[in-house]
Amino acid sequence: MTLPYELALQAADELRVRAGVDSYDVAVVLGSGWKEGASALGEPVSEVPSSTLRGFVAPTVEGHSGMIYTVKVAGHTVALVSGRVHLYEGNTAAQVAHPVRTVIAAGARTVILTNAAGGLNPSLAPGSVVAISDHLNLTATSPLEGASPPASMGSRFVDLSDLYSARLRALVRSVDPRITEGVYAGFRGPHYETPAEIRMVGALGASLVGMSTVLEAIAARHMNAEVLGLSLVTNYAAGVTDTPLNHLEVLEAGQSAAASLGDLLARLVHAL
Ligand code: 8IG
Protein backbone atom coordinates (compact mmCIF):
# COMPACT_ATOMS: atom_id res chain seq x y z
CA MET A 1 0.00 0.00 0.00
CA THR A 2 1.23 3.51 -0.84
CA LEU A 3 1.96 5.66 2.18
CA PRO A 4 -0.30 8.73 2.49
CA TYR A 5 2.75 11.02 2.15
CA GLU A 6 3.93 9.37 -1.05
CA LEU A 7 0.41 9.44 -2.40
CA ALA A 8 0.23 13.20 -1.78
CA LEU A 9 3.56 13.77 -3.56
CA GLN A 10 2.28 11.82 -6.57
CA ALA A 11 -1.08 13.63 -6.58
CA ALA A 12 0.78 16.97 -6.34
CA ASP A 13 2.74 16.15 -9.51
CA GLU A 14 -0.49 15.19 -11.29
CA LEU A 15 -2.17 18.39 -10.08
CA ARG A 16 0.63 20.67 -11.30
CA VAL A 17 0.54 19.06 -14.74
CA ARG A 18 -3.27 19.12 -15.06
CA ALA A 19 -3.60 22.65 -13.67
CA GLY A 20 -0.70 23.95 -15.77
CA VAL A 21 1.22 25.55 -12.90
CA ASP A 22 4.77 25.02 -11.63
CA SER A 23 3.86 25.58 -8.01
CA TYR A 24 1.28 27.06 -5.65
CA ASP A 25 1.79 29.67 -2.93
CA VAL A 26 -1.55 29.54 -1.15
CA ALA A 27 -4.32 26.99 -0.71
CA VAL A 28 -7.87 27.68 0.42
CA VAL A 29 -10.08 24.79 1.45
CA LEU A 30 -13.66 25.89 0.83
CA GLY A 31 -16.06 24.65 3.48
CA SER A 32 -19.85 24.87 3.52
CA GLY A 33 -20.98 28.37 2.69
CA TRP A 34 -17.59 29.56 1.43
CA LYS A 35 -17.67 28.17 -2.09
CA GLU A 36 -20.39 30.50 -3.40
CA GLY A 37 -18.36 33.62 -2.65
CA ALA A 38 -15.00 32.31 -3.87
CA SER A 39 -15.56 33.75 -7.35
CA ALA A 40 -14.49 37.08 -5.78
CA LEU A 41 -10.93 35.73 -6.02
CA GLY A 42 -11.18 35.90 -9.80
CA GLU A 43 -11.73 33.67 -12.78
CA PRO A 44 -9.92 30.30 -12.43
CA VAL A 45 -7.10 29.71 -14.93
CA SER A 46 -7.84 26.00 -14.66
CA GLU A 47 -10.18 23.53 -13.00
CA VAL A 48 -9.08 20.01 -12.13
CA PRO A 49 -11.70 17.48 -10.97
CA SER A 50 -10.19 15.87 -7.89
CA SER A 51 -11.52 12.49 -9.09
CA THR A 52 -8.72 12.58 -11.71
CA LEU A 53 -6.04 12.84 -9.01
CA ARG A 54 -4.58 9.91 -7.11
CA GLY A 55 -5.88 9.24 -3.62
CA PHE A 56 -8.84 11.63 -3.67
CA VAL A 57 -12.17 10.22 -2.50
CA ALA A 58 -15.43 11.64 -3.80
CA PRO A 59 -17.43 13.89 -1.48
CA THR A 60 -20.90 12.62 -0.57
CA VAL A 61 -22.16 15.89 0.92
CA GLU A 62 -24.49 18.03 -1.14
CA GLY A 63 -23.02 21.35 -2.09
CA HIS A 64 -19.48 19.91 -2.14
CA SER A 65 -18.09 19.05 -5.58
CA GLY A 66 -14.59 17.66 -5.81
CA MET A 67 -12.65 20.26 -7.76
CA ILE A 68 -9.37 22.15 -7.48
CA TYR A 69 -9.57 25.59 -9.05
CA THR A 70 -6.38 27.53 -9.75
CA VAL A 71 -6.63 31.31 -9.49
CA LYS A 72 -3.96 33.99 -9.74
CA VAL A 73 -4.43 36.67 -7.10
CA ALA A 74 -2.05 39.58 -6.56
CA GLY A 75 0.99 37.61 -7.71
CA HIS A 76 0.00 34.48 -5.75
CA THR A 77 -0.94 31.20 -7.34
CA VAL A 78 -3.86 29.97 -5.29
CA ALA A 79 -5.39 26.48 -5.15
CA LEU A 80 -9.06 26.55 -4.22
CA VAL A 81 -10.02 23.14 -2.93
CA SER A 82 -13.73 22.54 -3.13
CA GLY A 83 -15.38 19.32 -2.01
CA ARG A 84 -13.86 18.64 1.36
CA VAL A 85 -14.31 15.10 2.70
CA HIS A 86 -15.08 14.21 6.30
CA LEU A 87 -14.66 11.33 8.74
CA TYR A 88 -18.45 11.03 8.98
CA GLU A 89 -18.61 9.99 5.33
CA GLY A 90 -16.68 6.87 6.32
CA ASN A 91 -13.26 8.20 5.34
CA THR A 92 -10.04 7.63 7.23
CA ALA A 93 -8.04 10.49 8.75
CA ALA A 94 -5.49 10.05 5.93
CA GLN A 95 -8.20 10.40 3.27
CA VAL A 96 -9.54 13.51 4.99
CA ALA A 97 -6.04 15.06 5.04
CA HIS A 98 -5.08 14.03 1.49
CA PRO A 99 -6.30 17.16 -0.38
CA VAL A 100 -4.43 19.45 2.02
CA ARG A 101 -1.30 17.31 1.84
CA THR A 102 -1.51 17.38 -1.95
CA VAL A 103 -1.70 21.16 -2.32
CA ILE A 104 1.09 21.64 0.22
CA ALA A 105 3.23 19.10 -1.64
CA ALA A 106 2.44 21.17 -4.76
CA GLY A 107 4.03 24.18 -3.08
CA ALA A 108 1.41 25.95 -0.96
CA ARG A 109 3.07 27.28 2.22
CA THR A 110 -0.03 29.12 3.43
CA VAL A 111 -3.21 27.14 4.01
CA ILE A 112 -6.56 28.75 4.75
CA LEU A 113 -9.10 26.25 6.10
CA THR A 114 -12.67 27.50 6.01
CA ASN A 115 -15.74 25.86 7.45
CA ALA A 116 -19.25 26.36 8.74
CA ALA A 117 -19.64 25.83 12.44
CA GLY A 118 -22.04 26.01 15.33
CA GLY A 119 -21.51 28.86 17.76
CA LEU A 120 -21.56 28.52 21.55
CA ASN A 121 -21.62 32.21 22.30
CA PRO A 122 -25.22 33.56 22.24
CA SER A 123 -23.91 37.01 21.29
CA LEU A 124 -22.28 35.61 18.16
CA ALA A 125 -25.01 35.81 15.53
CA PRO A 126 -25.28 33.32 12.67
CA GLY A 127 -23.46 34.87 9.70
CA SER A 128 -20.47 35.95 11.83
CA VAL A 129 -16.96 34.91 10.87
CA VAL A 130 -14.56 33.78 13.60
CA ALA A 131 -10.82 33.15 13.25
CA ILE A 132 -9.82 29.88 14.90
CA SER A 133 -7.24 30.54 17.61
CA ASP A 134 -6.81 26.89 18.65
CA HIS A 135 -8.70 23.62 18.55
CA LEU A 136 -9.89 20.64 20.58
CA ASN A 137 -9.47 17.54 18.42
CA LEU A 138 -12.31 15.33 19.67
CA THR A 139 -12.19 12.93 16.73
CA ALA A 140 -9.97 10.46 18.60
CA THR A 141 -7.78 10.12 15.54
CA SER A 142 -4.86 11.80 13.83
CA PRO A 143 -3.75 12.04 10.20
CA LEU A 144 -0.27 11.12 11.48
CA GLU A 145 -1.31 7.69 12.76
CA GLY A 146 0.34 4.79 11.00
CA ALA A 147 3.69 4.42 9.31
CA SER A 148 6.32 7.04 10.03
CA PRO A 149 6.51 9.95 7.58
CA PRO A 150 9.48 10.07 5.18
CA ALA A 151 12.65 11.85 6.33
CA SER A 152 11.86 14.77 3.95
CA MET A 153 8.90 15.64 6.18
CA GLY A 154 8.71 16.49 9.85
CA SER A 155 8.55 14.02 12.72
CA ARG A 156 5.10 12.61 13.43
CA PHE A 157 5.49 13.98 16.96
CA VAL A 158 4.73 17.44 15.67
CA ASP A 159 4.48 20.43 18.00
CA LEU A 160 1.03 22.05 17.77
CA SER A 161 1.59 24.91 20.20
CA ASP A 162 1.42 27.37 17.30
CA LEU A 163 -1.02 25.44 15.09
CA TYR A 164 -3.12 28.44 14.00
CA SER A 165 -0.68 31.13 12.92
CA ALA A 166 -0.69 34.27 15.10
CA ARG A 167 0.70 36.21 12.13
CA LEU A 168 -2.22 35.21 9.89
CA ARG A 169 -4.75 35.95 12.64
CA ALA A 170 -3.30 39.44 12.98
CA LEU A 171 -3.66 39.80 9.22
CA VAL A 172 -7.35 38.84 9.50
CA ARG A 173 -7.84 41.55 12.13
CA SER A 174 -6.14 44.10 9.90
CA VAL A 175 -8.45 43.19 7.02
CA ASP A 176 -11.62 43.12 9.16
CA PRO A 177 -11.37 44.29 12.79
CA ARG A 178 -14.88 42.96 13.55
CA ILE A 179 -13.66 39.36 13.30
CA THR A 180 -13.20 37.77 16.73
CA GLU A 181 -11.27 34.61 17.63
CA GLY A 182 -12.33 31.35 19.22
CA VAL A 183 -11.40 27.76 19.98
CA TYR A 184 -12.91 25.20 17.58
CA ALA A 185 -14.02 21.83 18.95
CA GLY A 186 -13.88 19.22 16.18
CA PHE A 187 -16.27 16.29 16.57
CA ARG A 188 -16.67 13.32 14.22
CA GLY A 189 -20.42 13.91 13.66
CA PRO A 190 -22.52 13.59 11.59
CA HIS A 191 -25.06 14.01 14.38
CA TYR A 192 -25.01 17.36 16.10
CA GLU A 193 -24.08 17.44 19.77
CA THR A 194 -26.31 17.04 22.77
CA PRO A 195 -26.72 20.11 24.98
CA ALA A 196 -24.56 18.30 27.60
CA GLU A 197 -21.75 17.85 25.06
CA ILE A 198 -21.96 21.53 24.18
CA ARG A 199 -21.76 22.45 27.89
CA MET A 200 -18.73 20.16 28.15
CA VAL A 201 -16.77 21.80 25.33
CA GLY A 202 -17.90 25.23 26.49
CA ALA A 203 -16.38 24.47 29.91
CA LEU A 204 -13.20 23.43 28.09
CA GLY A 205 -12.98 26.78 26.36
CA ALA A 206 -14.54 26.12 22.96
CA SER A 207 -16.70 28.71 21.25
CA LEU A 208 -17.13 26.89 17.91
CA VAL A 209 -18.16 23.32 17.07
CA GLY A 210 -17.80 21.51 13.79
CA MET A 211 -16.98 18.28 12.00
CA SER A 212 -13.98 19.25 9.90
CA THR A 213 -10.74 21.24 9.88
CA VAL A 214 -8.84 19.75 12.85
CA LEU A 215 -7.26 16.84 10.97
CA GLU A 216 -6.39 19.02 7.98
CA ALA A 217 -4.80 21.60 10.27
CA ILE A 218 -2.64 18.95 11.94
CA ALA A 219 -1.53 17.49 8.60
CA ALA A 220 -0.76 20.97 7.24
CA ARG A 221 1.27 21.97 10.29
CA HIS A 222 3.15 18.69 10.08
CA MET A 223 4.21 19.69 6.55
CA ASN A 224 5.28 23.04 7.98
CA ALA A 225 2.61 25.13 6.30
CA GLU A 226 1.28 28.27 7.98
CA VAL A 227 -2.35 27.59 8.90
CA LEU A 228 -5.33 29.92 9.16
CA GLY A 229 -8.78 28.64 10.15
CA LEU A 230 -11.94 30.64 9.50
CA SER A 231 -15.40 29.59 10.67
CA LEU A 232 -18.68 30.93 9.40
CA VAL A 233 -21.09 30.57 12.31
CA THR A 234 -24.30 29.27 10.76
CA ASN A 235 -26.24 28.10 13.82
CA TYR A 236 -26.28 28.28 17.58
CA ALA A 237 -24.90 25.05 19.06
CA ALA A 238 -27.36 22.67 20.73
CA GLY A 239 -28.98 24.07 23.85
CA VAL A 240 -27.71 27.62 23.29
CA THR A 241 -31.18 28.65 22.09
CA ASP A 242 -34.54 26.82 22.08
CA THR A 243 -34.48 26.30 18.31
CA PRO A 244 -33.59 22.80 17.09
CA LEU A 245 -30.68 22.54 14.64
CA ASN A 246 -31.21 21.74 10.99
CA HIS A 247 -28.92 21.35 8.02
CA LEU A 248 -31.04 23.73 5.91
CA GLU A 249 -30.36 26.75 8.12
CA VAL A 250 -26.68 25.94 7.73
CA LEU A 251 -26.93 26.09 3.94
CA GLU A 252 -29.07 29.25 4.01
CA ALA A 253 -26.70 31.11 6.32
CA GLY A 254 -23.91 30.23 3.89
CA GLN A 255 -25.82 31.53 0.91
CA SER A 256 -26.67 34.85 2.50
CA ALA A 257 -23.06 35.37 3.67
CA ALA A 258 -21.49 34.36 0.32
CA ALA A 259 -20.63 37.82 -0.99
CA SER A 260 -18.99 39.04 2.21
CA LEU A 261 -17.04 35.77 2.63
CA GLY A 262 -15.68 36.06 -0.91
CA ASP A 263 -14.72 39.65 -0.25
CA LEU A 264 -12.94 38.64 2.96
CA LEU A 265 -10.98 35.89 1.20
CA ALA A 266 -9.98 38.22 -1.62
CA ARG A 267 -8.80 40.92 0.81
CA LEU A 268 -6.88 38.37 2.84
CA VAL A 269 -5.06 36.84 -0.12
CA HIS A 270 -4.21 40.34 -1.39
CA ALA A 271 -2.73 41.14 2.04
CA LEU A 272 -0.55 37.99 2.21
I1 8IG B 1 -22.57 24.27 10.22
O2 8IG B 1 -23.63 22.74 15.73
C3 8IG B 1 -22.34 23.23 11.79
N4 8IG B 1 -21.49 22.22 11.83
N5 8IG B 1 -20.54 19.38 15.34
N6 8IG B 1 -22.11 21.08 15.55
C7 8IG B 1 -21.20 20.39 14.81
N8 8IG B 1 -20.94 20.69 13.56
C9 8IG B 1 -21.60 21.72 13.03
C10 8IG B 1 -22.54 22.47 13.73
C11 8IG B 1 -22.81 22.13 15.06
N12 8IG B 1 -23.00 23.42 12.91
Q: Which helix (H) or strand (E) holds 271?
A: helix 247-271
pLDDT of residue 1: 57
Instruction: Please give the model's pTM, rounded to 2 decimal places.
Output: 0.95
Q: What does the alpha-carbon distance between residue 226 and residue 208 come to, in Å, rounded to a whole number?
A: 21
pLDDT digits (tens, 9 = 90+) for 199-213: 999 999 999 999 999
Cβ of residue 21 lying under 6 Å from some atom of ligand 1? no
What is the average pLDDT value for the chain, to the nearest integer? Answer: 93
CATH number at residue 116: 3.40.50.1580
Stretch 58-68: mean pLDDT: 78
Buried b (16+ CB within 10 A) or exposed e, 117-148: bbbbbeebebebbbbbbbbbbbbebbbbeeee
118 lines ligand 1 (CB under 6 A): yes
Distance CA 213, CA 251 (A): 18
Give tens-digit pLDDT for 106-138. 999 999 999 999 999 998 888 899 999 999 999
Pocket of ligand 1 contains residue 137 by CB under 6 Å? no
Q: 27-48 pLDDT, tens per residue?
A: 999 998 898 889 999 999 999 9
What pLDDT was estimated at residue 247?
Answer: 72
CB 220 within 8 A of CB 111: yes
Q: Which amino acid is at 92?
A: T
Domain count, the chain: 1
> Residue 46 is part of which domain span?
4-271
- For residue 226, is pLDDT > 70? yes
The C-alpha atoms of residue 22 and residue 140 are separated, in whole angstroms, by: 37
Which residue out of 30, 84, 193 has the highest number of ligand 1 atoms within 8 Å of its CB and is therefore the one to mutate? 193
